[in-house]
Chain A
Amino acid sequence: CVVCRASVCAWHEGLAASKMETKRASLLPFQARPFLDIVGDDGLLVLGRGLGLERICLALFRLYCDPSSLVVVVNASQHIQDLAVDYLHEEKVRPRIITAETLAEDRTQIYLSGGVLFVTSRILIMDLLTKRIPVHLLTGTIVLNAERVIPMSSEAFILRLIRYANKSCFIKALSDNVEGFLSQQHPIEKVLKCLWLRRLYLWPRFEQSILASLSEHPAQFEEVRIQMTPLMVNIQHALTDIVLACLRELKRIYPALTPESMDFERGLASSFEKLLRRQLDAVWHKLAKRVKQIVIDLKTVQTLIMLLVQQDSVSFYHFLRTLRATDSAYNVNSYWLYVDATDTLFGCARSRVYTTVKEKDAGGVDKTTIFETPESNPKWSALLRIIHEIGEPNGVATSRTLILVEDPSTCHHVQTVLCEGADAVLRQKLFKLKKWQRDFSKLKSEIVGNKPSVAEGIRGDQKANLGKRRRTHSKVSPMGAEHSDLPDEPLDNQPDEAAELLITVDPEQDFSTNFGLLEEDESNLICVFPWKYNLGVPLSQWLEEYRPSHVILYDPTLTAVRQIEAYRAGSIGSPCVVYFLVYDSSLQEQQYLTSVRNEKEAFEHLIKFKASMALPVDQDGRSGIRQVHEQSLHQRDLGETSTRNAGKPLAALPVKVVVDVREFRSALPSLLHERGLDLHATTLLVGDYVLAPEICIERKSIPDLIGSLNSGRLYKQCVAMTRFYSLPILLIEFDSNKPFSLLGSGAVGEFISADVDSKSVMSKLTLLTLSFPQLRILWCRNSHSTADLFASLKQHYAEPDSERAAAIGTDSTDEPLLREGYAPTPFAILKKLPGVTSKNIRKIIENVRSLKELASLSLEQLQELAGAQNGLQLHRFLANTSKK
């Protein structure tokens, strides 16, 4: 069995060619009716997961790829954008993607040329506010991932801006995440209102016509139940115990948790951590460090549960070691590492990799020998057996097998298993583990130098192993790989022959891990396909191209199963056998079943809702009644305040607010607009909002406030604000879903320390007001009251000047660099490197292309760019020789 690179290239080319042919791939039979629904009238289409929403989207986009129409697509994922650009590039007007990188001047031109445009929400808001986009010419808006359009989201703001300016354009919303509509806080009524829609089209998998269509050409499913090894079962038990122990401890130190969030079964479900976080979010900032740590621990343990069945024994052990190492390096004191079951976990995980044999040697002295005997993954042997079965001549001339795995790294190791056998994978992983141990011991000494407290712990650890180590003798392990010492020991004294060997066969260097195509001989093709991350080709498309006779679901998921069904329904002839690999009674199996059930229940809920929904006639805003109603509401509000305070006529009310473009992620701009204020979006270097020539406001949510008080960022921002404005304001905005209090719930004294604690938020806030007596503080219960406050404050001051506001602070440090369009992430990393200062950063950026290039510069070159001392510091940091 050979990895055939040439054939991979050939397949790529073949794929590109066939893509052209099937470019106009029509909808599958069962997709036609949902498509007609959504084309026929505005509405929200909710389709079952994996039933091919992409195809419906593409068909919809194709309708509008025409210069005579202008359609904006909101909230689209990168994936669907790429698909559309790829598949519709031969249409009269190609779909185009507009992001922050598209220049403002070009955007006007693009809008005028029409067709289908994917626009980033923030940019679209900007363009709508600045009237850069000709709204009156808009044919319609398509909203994807509609479940995310909730009140106060940017998408809801966009749709309101569009509807106010254009009553006749269509709005079509699509989603295939039905669970997303079940949120307590934002039920589907609210989502429909935000979408300005009155119709709901539901197409679940169990709908009659879809069911009929799919069962016409059913795929043959073979469930292959794999037994876990005894050690894996033990590890799973240990992990379950750890989850339980964590929950118990959490309950003990934080009794306020409701019982349903402490449910054991949920404790194992993947969304459990999110649920818990949602419940604790309200009080997250004032939780004891220990409680937070346990919540984080629960997530870690959940990852471990997943990894146990996904990864091989060595990787699993390696990951465990990394976790423990990180814990000690940072002094985290994770709770779960000290639970009884954790010993079992580490013990079993280690036993999967190493075998310890105790025997008496000739002299009668006890000696311990450690062999590397990594346990093979049971899935691998099952996989090999199936492949073998398929490969046997059985009358069929050729067989094409598709192995579906979750991600490219699994793809990579499945490939190696098939080509070189399971041993090769384990050897590679072992090599990595050894290298890590060697490097880590180096790093340990680094930390030992810096943090005495941690060092003690590690030294103790080493001492404990010392006795054992002396009696360890070298032996060649059964696998033939170089023998290793106890895992805790540095390995640098051994020349690693096995390692040398491995490097030469290591295929990961340049071989694309995205596609793994294996060729046994002419008649048997095997392809390993990572369904989660594939570059450009969706699974449904790949199934069409490849036409497999056998599909092996290595990592079972609902979406993949549905897509195979859909593929079968669409392709006539060519039967296909699907092997469904699942560990018997594993948590992974449970998760799969839960996901099926959840989706079904969600649909049933929506169907019930649809049967009894009563929505206002003008929810779609086409006749303008809703807009008039909403506007009059705010006019009245403003009118009232104006007569009370100044008695000015309405028309003369100052309404202009300058808003920083980054603020459009929050709900406030949308609410300000709702109150009839005129928003001017620009990039502000100082403050977030400018209400008047003298008023500048920095908005902070509670977590932001705490974070920026601790990091010192708020201090810096206050310095800047007081420098340029006579009325600098700090706005502390609470979340309406969380308790309105900075510390505890008031009556409970335990959150307020008895002494004045310099680390507490209270103390820091006090010090801030002492340092900036001219700083005003606004406390707002939620964004709604902030918006009210802004509106009423504005009436007493003159209108701000957006150009002047944008110009303020332009001479300070590195902000202008970002304004000039430098890439933000690499820039942020560079800024954090020692030796890089605000003085030399510009020179570095102008002379060095990327961080990668920076890494290859010599000391002299760095010194030339950054200055002698800074260059030296930077070089030392890059080469990890930064000892003072």
Chain B
Amino acid sequence: QQQQQQQRPVPLKTATTNTLIARHTQRGNKVLSCIKNVPWEFDDIVPDFLVGRGSAVLYLSLQYHILHPDYIYTRIRDLGRQYRLRVLLLSVDITSPERSINELCKTAVMNQLTVILSWSHEETARYLETYKLYENKPGDTLQERVSDDYLTQLSNAMCTVRGVNKTDAVTLMTTFGTLSDIFKAGVNDLRLCPGFGDAKAERLHRAFNEPFVPDH
């Protein structure tokens, strides 16, 4: 399909599950030369890249899309619904891509594709590698984690007040000693903490004294 001129030696067929598979038509795609972290090989597949058992990638350069606007629709139709995750990997290589991206994003919503944008070959290659390497990684690592160290917990709580930072949390802790005493502090005590402006002192004081349930 793209840049057929540059021929590369075909890697040996070592069809293991750890291998990223590229479609034959991708031969010569410069992205392939940037793939360093996973083994890859060519095979006869419907999508452009197969990055996992259930994950397929269609690759499209926006330059190519401008020249051949119908191409991608054919590919999407051919791909069908057979993969769990279908990624449309767009390479942004034109100067004002807004219109094309809008159009393709809309198409992706209608055809249940996940759009990923990339701005360079390296970035595209990194996405492909990451998809392959993370094939079996659980999504849990994206979940919220809270550190259990005292100072971190304290500053987490204090920093929910607008304008309060870590330094202030340390200052509060060292000035008052315990969280109870911080909550009980008068506005003037807060005001006299080094580095505290009046706005900050008042905001904190308000937060500590404001009833949870406002009186109506």
Is B one of A's binding partners?
A: yes
List chain A residues, Cβ under 8 A from B85: 769-770, 773
List chain A residues, Cβ under 8 A from B173: 439, 443, 880
B139/A729 in contact, CB under 8 A: no
Closest Cβ–Cβ distance, residue A751 to chain B (whole Å): 9
User: Which residues of A in the span 844-880 have a Cβ within 8 Å of any Cβ on B?
Assistant: 845-846, 848-852, 854-856, 877-880
Closest Cβ–Cβ distance, residue B104 to chain A (whole Å): 9
Interface size class of A (residues with CB under 8 A): 35 or more
Cα A833 to Cα B105 in complex, Å, equals: 42
Interface presence of B102 (CB below 8 A): yes
Interface presence of B161 (CB below 8 A): yes
Q: Contacts A756-B129, A880-B177: A713 and B144 contacting too (C-beta < 8 A)?
A: yes
Closest Cβ–Cβ distance, residue B79 to chain A (whole Å): 14
Interface presence of A816 (CB below 8 A): no
List chain B residues, Cβ under 8 A from A772: 139
List chain B residues, Cβ under 8 A from A440: 174
Residues 515-542 of chain A, each 1 if its beta carbon lies under 8 Å from chain B, else 0: 0000000000000000011000000000
Q: Contacts A756-B130, A764-B142, A823-B211: A407 and B197 contacting too (C-beta < 8 A)?
A: yes
Q: Contacts A439-B174, A777-B114: A832 and B139 contacting too (C-beta < 8 A)?
A: no
B109/A776 in contact, CB under 8 A: yes
Cα A782 to Cα B153 in complex, Å, equals: 36
Interface presence of A329 (CB below 8 A): yes
Cα A412 to Cα B192 in complex, Å, equals: 9
User: Which residues of A in the span 712-732 have a Cβ within 8 Å of any Cβ on B?
Assistant: 712-716, 727, 729
B36/A714 in contact, CB under 8 A: no
A777/B139 in contact, CB under 8 A: no
Q: Contacts A746-B123, A832-B157, A852-B183: A326 and B134 contacting too (C-beta < 8 A)?
A: no
Q: Name the one of B54, B137, B183 contacting A854, with C-beta atoms under 8 angstroms.
A: B183
A755/B142 in contact, CB under 8 A: no
Interface presence of A779 (CB below 8 A): yes
Residues 160-184 of chain B, each 1 if its beta carbon lies under 8 Å from chain A, else 0: 1110001100110111011111111
Residues 820-843 of chain A, each 1 if its beta carbon lies under 8 Å from chain B, else 0: 011101111110111000000000
Interface presence of A771 (CB below 8 A): yes
Interface presence of A767 (CB below 8 A): yes
User: Which residues of A in the span 449-477 have a Cβ within 8 Å of any Cβ on B?
Assistant: 450-451
User: Which residues of A in the span 677-734 have a Cβ within 8 Å of any Cβ on B?
Assistant: 709, 711-716, 727, 729
Interface presence of B67 (CB below 8 A): no
User: Which residues of A in the span 638-652 have a Cβ within 8 Å of any Cβ on B?
Assistant: none
Q: Contacts A408-B198, A778-B105, A828-B160: A773 and B114 contacting too (C-beta < 8 A)?
A: yes
B160/A322 in contact, CB under 8 A: no
A322/B195 in contact, CB under 8 A: yes
A850/B144 in contact, CB under 8 A: no
B106/A878 in contact, CB under 8 A: no
Interface presence of A765 (CB below 8 A): yes
List chain B residues, Cβ under 8 A from A508: 188-189, 192
List chain A residues, Cβ under 8 A from B54: 773
B167/A742 in contact, CB under 8 A: no
**Closest A residue to B143 using CB positions:** A712
User: Which residues of A in the span 320-334 have a Cβ within 8 Å of any Cβ on B?
Assistant: 322-323, 325-326, 329-330
User: Which residues of A in the span 85-144 have a Cβ within 8 Å of any Cβ on B?
Assistant: 101
Residues 374-399 of chain A, each 1 if its beta carbon lies under 8 Å from chain B, else 0: 00000000000000000000000000
Interface presence of B131 (CB below 8 A): yes
User: Which residues of A in the span 772-815 have a Cβ within 8 Å of any Cβ on B?
Assistant: 772-782, 785, 788-789, 792-793, 796
Residues 45-56 of chain A, each 1 if its beta carbon lies under 8 Å from chain B, else 0: 000000000000
A742/B117 in contact, CB under 8 A: yes
Contact stretch, chosen from B6-14, B17-25, B42-50, B202-210: B202-210
B207/A826 in contact, CB under 8 A: yes
User: Which of A322, A509, A792 has the most C-beta atoms of chain B within 10 angstroms of its own C-beta?
Assistant: A322
Closest Cβ–Cβ distance, residue A72 to chain B (whole Å): 24
A450/B150 in contact, CB under 8 A: yes
Cα A330 to Cα B147 in complex, Å, equals: 13
Closest Cβ–Cβ distance, residue B114 to chain A (whole Å): 5
Q: Contacts A439-B174, A439-B175, A746-B119: A851 and B183 contacting too (C-beta < 8 A)?
A: yes
Cα A533 to Cα B86 in complex, Å, equals: 58
Interface presence of A749 (CB below 8 A): yes
List chain B residues, Cβ under 8 A from A778: 105, 109, 115
**Closest B residue to A847 using CB positions:** B212
Closest Cβ–Cβ distance, residue A797 to chain B (whole Å): 10
List chain B residues, Cβ under 8 A from A782: 98
B194/A315 in contact, CB under 8 A: yes
Interface presence of A758 (CB below 8 A): yes
Cα A772 to Cα B114 in complex, Å, equals: 10
Interface presence of A741 (CB below 8 A): yes
Interface presence of A436 (CB below 8 A): yes
Cα A828 to Cα B160 in complex, Å, equals: 7
A715/B142 in contact, CB under 8 A: yes
Q: Name the one of A450, A709, A781 contacting B101, with C-beta atoms under 8 angstroms.
A: A781
Interface presence of A752 (CB below 8 A): yes
Q: Contacts A715-B142, A779-B117: A852 and B184 contacting too (C-beta < 8 A)?
A: yes
User: Which residues of B in the span 39-80 have a Cβ within 8 Å of any Cβ on A?
Assistant: 52, 54-55
B213/A775 in contact, CB under 8 A: no
A432/B192 in contact, CB under 8 A: yes
Residues 642-671 of chain A, each 1 if its beta carbon lies under 8 Å from chain B, else 0: 000000000000000000000000000000
A829/B123 in contact, CB under 8 A: no
**Closest B residue to A777 using CB positions:** B115
B183/A776 in contact, CB under 8 A: no
Cα A439 to Cα B174 in complex, Å, equals: 5
Interface presence of A258 (CB below 8 A): no
A850/B120 in contact, CB under 8 A: no
Cα A715 to Cα B119 in complex, Å, equals: 25
Q: Contacts A850-B210, A850-B212: A796 and B144 contacting too (C-beta < 8 A)?
A: no
B207/A775 in contact, CB under 8 A: no
Closest Cβ–Cβ distance, residue A764 to chain B (whole Å): 6
List chain A residues, Cβ under 8 A from B181: 855
User: Which residues of A in the span 426-447 have a Cβ within 8 Å of any Cβ on B?
Assistant: 432, 435-436, 439-440, 442-443, 446-447
User: Which residues of B in the span 77-118 have a Cβ within 8 Å of any Cβ on A?
Assistant: 84-87, 92, 97-98, 101-102, 105-106, 108-110, 112-117
B177/A849 in contact, CB under 8 A: no
Q: Contacts A756-B126, A832-B156: A741 and B119 contacting too (C-beta < 8 A)?
A: yes
Q: Name the one of A315, A533, A709, A796 contacting B198, with C-beta atoms under 8 angstroms.
A: A533
List chain A residues, Cβ under 8 A from B184: 852, 855-856
B178/A880 in contact, CB under 8 A: yes
Cα A745 to Cα B131 in complex, Å, equals: 22
List chain B residues, Cβ under 8 A from A765: 116
Q: Contacts A447-B151, A762-B123, A855-B180: A827 and B212 contacting too (C-beta < 8 A)?
A: yes
**Closest A residue to B147 using CB positions:** A450
A749/B122 in contact, CB under 8 A: yes
Interface presence of A409 (CB below 8 A): yes
Q: Name the one of A762, A781, A793, A850 contacting B106, with C-beta atoms under 8 angstroms.
A: A793
The 10 closest A-B pairs by CB, nearest first: A771-B139, A712-B144, A855-B183, A746-B119, A773-B85, A855-B180, A832-B157, A828-B160, A715-B142, A746-B120
User: Which positions in A face B, CB cutoff 8 Å?
Assistant: 101, 303, 315, 318-319, 322-323, 325-326, 329-330, 407-409, 412, 432, 435-436, 439-440, 442-443, 446-447, 450-451, 508-509, 513, 532-533, 709, 711-716, 727, 729, 740-747, 749, 752-756, 758, 762-782, 785, 788-789, 792-793, 796, 821-823, 825-830, 832-834, 845-846, 848-852, 854-856, 877-880, 882
17 A-B residue pairings within 8 Å (CB atoms): A101-B214, A325-B174, A407-B197, A407-B198, A450-B149, A509-B186, A711-B144, A715-B144, A754-B36, A756-B126, A776-B112, A778-B105, A780-B102, A796-B110, A827-B212, A829-B160, A877-B179
Known: A319-B194, A770-B134. 20 other contacts (CB 8 A): A714-B142, A742-B119, A763-B130, A767-B134, A767-B137, A767-B142, A769-B114, A772-B139, A773-B84, A781-B101, A785-B98, A789-B105, A793-B109, A823-B211, A825-B207, A826-B210, A828-B160, A849-B211, A851-B207, A878-B178
